[in-house]
Amino acid sequence: MATIHSLLASAELPDSPTPRLDAELLLAAALGKPRSYLRTWPERELAPDVVERFAAWLERRRAGEPVAYILGRQGFWSLELEVSAHTLIPRPDTELLVETTLALLPVTPARLLDLGTGSGAIALALASERPAWRITGVDRVPEAVALAERNRRRLGLDNAEFRQSEWFTALAGERYTAIVGNPPYIAAGDRHLGEGDVRFEPASALVSGADGLDDIRAIIRGAPAHLEPGGWLLLEHGYDQGAAVRELLGAAGFQAVESRRDLGGHERISLGRRP
């Protein structure tokens, strides 16, 4: 019979940048066990149904489907989130947006808005760290709103809520202490759209015009009307877009404009304060 060791040793994922990790995540999920179980019991013989499930998932991964979509979940911050093909897969780079927001604002009561919430990752990470904050997440895709709400209920985070809205369209008259977001920022025609996991993610959550900045422009244009005086706007963007986003923020009248770098040294988010 197949063992944990033999299955992992024979798992071939030539096009994955993390083949061993992918195989371990899939096999652990097929077993219903944590990854540590694989190392503790490498010679454990596996039931045929586990082997079949693992083989089917491995074939999907070979075809390029992201592990997060195969398993229907992804870790982000300290949370385990349900994900689906209607939303982007939450990525570690986006945790910089959470870290910066937490450091920037006091722990006292505040109202925050998460634009393009997707799975609810940013909103729920903030809600989990700041019980006194009220966070509203919006997305134009109804399936994404429903997914974020399922995550909220499962995590028991009553200080977050989710609504359907294309950016600010359903938020007339509402103002917030801070607005955060990870909007689409890839240029149409970018070669990376045909590579890796991105091929399986919704293009509408990735692509934003000829230079990738159309949605960021729209958000910066609309944000002042929805920020309290002194309120902050924080946006994730592409690794080479920091200067352009800072210029847009400055032109819109934002103050204290700056960018923050991710662990790879790239400018990953930019922020500014409404006068």
Reported as type and span, the H/E element at residue 49 is: helix 48-62
pLDDT score at 143: 95
pTM: 0.89
pLDDT score at 94: 95
pLDDT score at 12: 87
Stretch(es) of the chain classified as CATH 3.40.50.150: 84-273
CATH number of 84-273: 3.40.50.150
DSSP category for residue 57: H
- Cβ–Cβ < 8 Å for 236, 271: no
Give the phi and the psi of residue 160 in degrees, each rounded to 5.
Answer: -125, 150
Angle between helices 121-129 and 142-155 (to 10 degrees): 30
pLDDT score at 16: 86
pLDDT score at 186: 74
Angle, alpha carbons 73-118-87 (nearest 5°): 60
pLDDT digit string (tens) for the chain, length 275 residues: 799 989 888 888 888 888 999 999 999 999 999 999 999 988 989 999 999 999 999 999 998 899 999 999 999 999 999 999 888 889 899 999 999 999 999 999 999 999 999 999 999 999 999 999 999 999 999 999 999 999 999 999 999 999 999 999 999 999 999 999 999 877 676 666 556 666 656 656 666 677 889 999 999 999 999 999 999 999 999 999 999 999 999 999 999 999 999 988 999 999 999 99
C-alpha to C-alpha distance for 50 and 38, rounded to whole angstroms: 13
pLDDT score at 86: 85
C-alpha to C-alpha distance for 177 and 195, rounded to whole angstroms: 38
pLDDT score at 198: 64
C-alpha to C-alpha distance for 68 and 74, rounded to whole angstroms: 5
